[in-house]
Amino acid sequence: GKFLWSGSKKKKNGNRLSRSMGRGLRIILSAQLRATTTTTRGSAALRRPRLGGVSVARSRGTEESPRSLGRRWSGLGGSSEALERGTNKTLPDMLIACVGDVHGLWNRESEEALSWLQPDLSLFVGDFGEEDVELVAEVARVPERKAVILGNHDAWYSASPTRRGNSVALDGVEEQLDILGDDHVGLSAKTLPDLGLSVVGCRPFSKGGGDWKRFSKFYRQLYGLRNFDDSATQIVGNSFAEPEHHRLIFLGHNGPTGLGSSADSPCGLDFRPEEGDFGDRDMEDAIRAVLEKGRRVSLAVFGHMHERLHRFALPRTSRRMFHLDKSSGVAYVNCAVVPRIREAEGDPKATQHNFVLVTMTAALEVERVESVWLQKNQGDGSFERVETTEWYNRESG
């Protein structure tokens, strides 16, 4: 259909910093030492990442897990069965709804579509607007259980490298963080006991690439971070603070390095004539360090690098949005299908809404990943799937 476009222009990346094989071990040791200190995020200018604390998310208004509610989605109710830990109760597959870069395209009908899906968990990867506080407030009011991370557009003015002086005006950023509260997991984590997993947030407001210096004032003032290693250490420390039996989901605005250096890779540089890996090295380092210590990571979800490629990447036009690391079992999902709202063909009054759906088995392994477009039926208010693109199916490999 005709797209309602609200795109973003990405900037030139800096030189990628080299990594040594011993970095993962150094990050582990540093994180273990720093995780013994807990700092809380208050209203002061410095927002220290949570170290060693636990943010527990429960179902709203009921003790019943969303797993037992059933879904209005043909084919997504899992048939596999597994015993819930500590009980003789069998659990169905889990549905995670991922919302890619919003760029101003979120409305009441988007919220209705998400509610109709009845996911166990919703993940938002940010870029709601140029510090669009009102839109972030709308997302914060979404009743579905969710985890959110803010993107580079959400600090569009605050993190601008053209700002002068030693301090950064963070009013817009601070207001968004306060509105989202514990739902914002950037450099923090959300514990989901009834699902047996935890969402670990990576560095928020990421613009990708290897240039820390351009945004050093912003990250030092907001989080006290000096470099990528500081960021990776915080992420690892938060991972260790989660229950040992929990599977981990990593949530970032941008994805990690290490997923390929071609323009159509999940985090590939497509907006310059030269190709390269534009991922976040601190996210890769953190995931590697956590895996080296034996923690189980099921999924990493991110956005930022849009599915539709820049003209520099021609003749390639679409990005590869899924990657499975067979050695570790980690599934990497880029959900930045942009724009995420489009007009329906033949009916300019109707719109279609994109969601990336991740189905996980009761053993918390990724079973299927699909990009779907939903359109509202004006008669009964329900939604129908008008287009589906399957990115991964465990049965077909």
Contact yes or no for 290/246 (Cβ under 8 A): no
Q: What is the pLDDT of residues 26-41, one digit of tens each?
A: 455 555 544 433 333 3
pLDDT at 159: 82
Please state the rounded mean pLDDT for residues 145-164: 86
**Assigned token pair, 121:** 């968990």
- pTM for this model (two decimals): 0.80
| Cα-to-chain-centroid distance, residue 29 | 26
- 139 residue type, one letter: V
pLDDT of residue 280: 97
Q: Are 296 and 265 in contact (CB under 8 A)?
A: no
The pLDDT assigned to 161 comes to 62
Question: What does the block give as tokens for 168?
Answer: 């950064």
What is the spatial distance between Cα 186 and Cα 193, in angstroms, rounded to a whole number? 20
Convert the pLDDT of each residue in 291-303 to its tens digit: 999 999 999 999 9
- Residue 140 is predicted with a pLDDT of 97
Please give the radius of gyration of the chain, using alpha carbons only, rounded to the nearest integer.
20
pLDDT (tens digit per residue) in 234-266 = 999 999 999 999 999 999 999 999 999 999 999
Kindly report the length of the chain.
397
